[in-house]
Amino acid sequence: MKKTAKFGGSSVANSTQIKKVCDIVLNDKEICAVVVSAPGKRYSNDIKVTDLLIDLYEKYRNKDPKYKEQLENIIKRYEEIVLDLKLDEKLLDDFRLILNKYLDEIDDSFYLENAIKSCGEDFNARLIAKYISSLGYKCSYLSPKEAGILVEHTINEPIILEETYNNIKRFKDDDRLFIIPGFYAISPQGKIITFQRGGSDITGSIVARGLECDIYENFTDMSYIYTAHPNLIDNPKPITNITYREMRELSYNGFEIFQEDAVAPLLKNNIKIQVKNTNDPNNGGTIIETKRNNIKENPIIGISNVGDFLAFNITEYLMNKQVGYINKLLDIFEYQHIPVEHIPTGIDSLSILIRKKYITSEFQMQNIINTIKTNFDFDEFEIIDDLSAIAIVGEGLKNIMTQTLYKISKTFDEENIKLEAIIQGASNNSLFVFIKKENEKLAIQKLYKEFFN
């Protein structure tokens, strides 16, 4: 059995946590590679190192001389760790040098931002590798460049290049324990490209697949993935087994514990993911795999929410007879690089549902509205901009669809919550319920009660 273990920000936030990580890793001979995040929050209103780095970049870009102070704040975070772990303080000079080198030498603002952001995980991996080596173990820092983690940079998200897996495979039979920084990869031109936030999970998946591991252990500060977000429901039921497909639907829809794109690299090779707690490694755990055996007992596995959707609703008499109507409308969004997520339709009406985060300015919004107004001869056009989508997810949903729809309608009727749209994916694994954002919390709590109590 071979494992890759990934540790999130809270697991590597300070020297106490890092020692726990090393304990876990050094007591499990099956772990052959460790992927680490940047130091996260040490207490609730602390700032993650990645956020400090983003601020450093912003200050530098805006020619704010305070960037130097911010750079030193970042070094201080590592200084605390380096001193506690009794490592050579020269490491801190190396970190300072790397940051200054990027600031001095990278002219392009996009690449500079990416390079600066990558330092959080990079410095952490370097110092953890040094610490484990100082304890007398055979351990090496392995950078994404050396490992060959390659991505194509696109306007939206980086795309992992297939050759990455063969590149990593070169290290498969090495007897060293590798410590690899998460969150970033390298473009074929040698530039540092970061993944989206929470992207160390993706690095962990890539490494687990490249090294042909059986299990990808993902350590966070939670013992399980839960049936609903613990911020919304008191003591939600834990999930012990969940399928990749279910996880994908849930993580895409607001389950922050596992980055949504991290499932993809594992699917082909059937690598199991085990979500565990660094502070309680011998207990709990959610296993994510191809199939689960408890679909009959637990047809629905979780309820999750994402706020911030907006709908463009258009009504036009005889819309159904116009060839290419939807295409013409979608072109407007494609042109603006905005992914359209759902398109519920009637005979003479349709709704385009997109995530609010993709509209980056008022100007862009006006542009879309004006283009629609100029190119369509609609009877009615309205924008609803405060929608929340709630996803009800489970591989067994298809067997209880009528009952589920009944429960949703009953709950919303009792609570006087207006249903703006309801969408069933073709896979029948999920139902999306769109309501006004102001009703989101109440809706989740009531639905949770209906489905899990």
Q: What's the angle, vertex CA 173, arms to CA 172 and CA 174, rounded to 5?
A: 95
- State the minimum distance, in angstroms, from the CB of residue 391 to ligand ASP: 22
Where does this chain touch ligand ASP (CB under 6 A) — which range of 143-151, 162-170, 191-199, 235-243?
191-199
Pick from 375, 341, 35, 360: nearest CA to 181: 35
293, with CB counted inside 10 A (0-12, 13-18, 19+), is: exposed
6 binds ligand ASP (CB under 6 A): no
Residue 81-120 contact track with ligand ASP, rule CB under 6 A, x = bound: ---------------------------------------x
**For every residue of 177-215, which 3-state class applies, written as one string?**
EEEEECCEEECCCCCEEECCCCCHHHHHHHHHHHCCCCE
The pair of structure tokens assigned to 321 is 């007879």
- The answer to whether residues 435 and 420 touch, using CB atoms and an 8 Å cutoff, is yes
197 binds ligand ASP (CB under 6 A): yes
Sign for the pseudo-dihedral over CA of 147, 152, 153, 155: negative
Q: Which is nearer to ligand ASP, 224 or 258 (CB)?
A: 258
DSSP 91-146: HHHHHHHHHHHHHHH--SHHHHHHHHHHHHHHHHHHHHHHHHHHTT--EEE--HHH
**For ligand ASP, how many residues bind (rule: CB under 6 A)?**
13
2 binds ligand ASP (CB under 6 A): no
Where does this chain touch ligand ASP (CB under 6 A) — which range of 20-28, 96-104, 197-205, 225-233?
197-205
Q: Could you say which of 50, 70, 298, 429 contacts ligand ASP (CB under 6 A)?
A: 50
Q: Could you say which of 148, 198, 302, 396 contacts ligand ASP (CB under 6 A)?
A: 198
77 binds ligand ASP (CB under 6 A): no
Q: Could you say which of 4, 9, 115, 208 contacts ligand ASP (CB under 6 A)?
A: 9
Q: How far apart are CA 345 and CA 165, in angstroms?
A: 42
Q: Which is nearer to ligand ASP, 259 or 388 (CB)?
A: 259
Pick from 309, 348, 350, 346: nearest CA to 330: 350
b/e per residue 403-433 (b: at least 16 CB within 10 A): ebeebbeebbeeeebeebbbbbeeeebbbbb
Nearest position to ligand ASP, beta carbon: 200
Q: What is the CA radius of gyration of the chain?
A: 24
Where does this chain touch ligand ASP (CB under 6 A) — which range of 63-71, 167-175, 198-206, 244-252?
198-206
- The answer to whether residues 180 and 207 touch, using CB atoms and an 8 Å cutoff, is yes
- State the minimum distance, in angstroms, from the CB of residue 199 to ligand ASP: 5
Q: Which is nearer to ligand ASP, 196 or 403 (CB)?
A: 196
Q: Which is nearer to ligand ASP, 120 or 144 (CB)?
A: 120
- State the minimum distance, in angstroms, from the CB of residue 180 to ligand ASP: 13
220 binds ligand ASP (CB under 6 A): no
Q: Which is nearer to ligand ASP, 37 or 253 (CB)?
A: 37
Where does this chain touch ligand ASP (CB under 6 A) — which range of 122-130, 193-201, 278-286, 386-394?
193-201
Please enumerate in sequence order all residues whose Cβ is within 8 A of that of 205, keeping only pairs 6 or more positions apart, or say none.
216, 262, 263, 264, 265, 266, 271, 273
158 binds ligand ASP (CB under 6 A): no
- State the minimum distance, in angstroms, from the CB of residue 26 to ligand ASP: 23
Where does this chain touch ligand ASP (CB under 6 A) — which range of 145-153, 192-200, 338-346, 379-387?
192-200
Q: Could you say which of 5, 13, 31, 38 contacts ligand ASP (CB under 6 A)?
A: 38
Going by the DSSP 8-state scheme, the letter that residue 429 receives in this structure is S
Q: Which is nearer to ligand ASP, 34 or 417 (CB)?
A: 34
Q: How far apart are CA 267 and CA 394, in angstroms?
A: 18
Instruction: Return the residue matching tokens 């992914």.
Output: 339
37 binds ligand ASP (CB under 6 A): yes
Strand-pair partners of 178: 33, 140
How many residues are given for the chain? 453
- State the minimum distance, in angstroms, from the CB of residue 394 to ligand ASP: 27
48 binds ligand ASP (CB under 6 A): yes
- State the minimum distance, in angstroms, from the CB of residue 259 to ligand ASP: 7
- State the minimum distance, in angstroms, from the CB of residue 219 to ligand ASP: 12
Please enumerate in sequence order all residues whose Cβ is within 8 A of that of 247, keeping only pairs 6 or more positions apart, or say none.
225, 255, 258, 263, 273, 288
218 binds ligand ASP (CB under 6 A): no
Using CB under 6 A, list all residues that contact ligand ASP: 8-9, 37-38, 48, 50, 120, 182-183, 197-200
